[in-house]
Amino acid sequence: MPKHITSVIDNFRGDPSETYSVRCIESFRTVDRIFRALADDSVDPTEGTKIEARADVESDRPDPEPTTQASVQTRWRFDQEVAENFPVEARQNIPDYARVLDVCIEVADMFLEKDAPVIDVGCALGEALKRLYARGYRRLYGIDNSSDMLARAFNTTDRAITYILSDKFSSEHGPYRLVTANWTLHFIKQREAYLRDIHAALEDGGFLVLTEKVMLSSMMDRLYKQFKLDAGLSQDYIDYKEEALKDVLVTYPLDWYLVKLRQIGFRSVEILNARLSFVTFLARK
């Protein structure tokens, strides 16, 4: 069993009424521990996954970049062009993209029955739902505010997946046993209210897997830009997208999530994965 999952289980065995502890914050205070957490690549991102890798995601060939000739007068949108190129876009811009999806599957397999209701917030093309379906889960829901994404999303013939077009959280099919919200809430301005809606729609003992880009130092920003260059993006495209995302993707400090999730009512908040400026939390109601 991966060590990062084992440590989470140990923390869940504590007293549910225990008052908020800053152990998560303190664990990231010293520089050496920060770099150990951010550089941990000990888990194989494909371990335990039955889904075959998509050719357009795993290929080593140079990837096409969306056009940058248009003036950045319009903000970033998840439109048809982005939807068509999303697997490439995700791999080139999100550190540990596949690994985080695999961690979601590990959490589901460890804590959920196969008939447990699961909803993926910001489901995009349904990659997380596709992997959950392959593992036998059949009460799956995906919510996204992009019709272009949902038009291309993975689907099945047995209606095991229901997609919802909305910019608000849907509690209609709850209470949920698991909510996944990866790389999504940092686009939402009313973030605390959205998290409260998620908490209210979870069953007691339910889980939230949340991945966010957080506000870190200029050093981490430089490392993140280097990651994108190494992934095949040009400096011109990196600058273009950074400008297009201004006031669209808004980062909050790491501490905000650790404190706010506890204030909202989650009795346990842990860090499952962290690389560069992206952090994955596991919160239990």
Contact 169, 233 (CB under 8 A): no
**Close Cβ partners of 77 (under 8 Å, ≥ 6 residues apart):** 146
In a domain, 14, yes or no: yes
Distance from chain centroid for Cα 227: 18
The answer, as to whether pTM is greater than 0.85, is no
Share of the chain above pLDDT 90, in %: 61
In a domain, 85, yes or no: no
Q: Please give the Cα distance from 280 to 27 (Å, whole number).
A: 15
Look up tokens 């239990």; give the residue.
284
Longest C-alpha distance within the chain, in Å?
57
What is the total count of domains within the chain? 1
Contact 224, 95 (CB under 8 A): yes
In a domain, 52, yes or no: no
Q: Please give the Cα distance from 272 to 279 (Å, whole number).
A: 8
Residue count (the chain): 285
Instruction: Indicate which CATH number applies to the domain containing 113.
Output: 3.40.50.150
In a domain, 131, yes or no: yes
In a domain, 58, yes or no: no
Tens digits of per-residue pLDDT, 101-139?
999 999 999 999 999 999 999 999 999 999 999 999 999
Contact 254, 216 (CB under 8 A): yes
In a domain, 247, yes or no: yes
Tens digits of per-residue pLDDT, 92-109?
999 999 999 999 999 999
Angle, helices 97-111 vs 86-93, to 10°: value is 100
In a domain, 190, yes or no: yes
Q: Is the pLDDT of residue 164 over 50?
A: yes
Q: Which domain holds residue 239?
A: 3-43+92-284
For the beta carbon of residue 188, count every other beta carbon within 10 angstroms: 20
- Residue 129: which of 155, 90, 151 has the closest Cα? 155
Burial code (b: 16+ CB inside 10 Å, e: under 16) for 35-70 equals eebbeeeebeeeeebebeeeeeeeeeeebebeeeee
Tens digits of per-residue pLDDT, 168-221?
999 999 899 999 999 999 999 999 999 999 999 999 999 999 999 999 888 989
In a domain, 68, yes or no: no
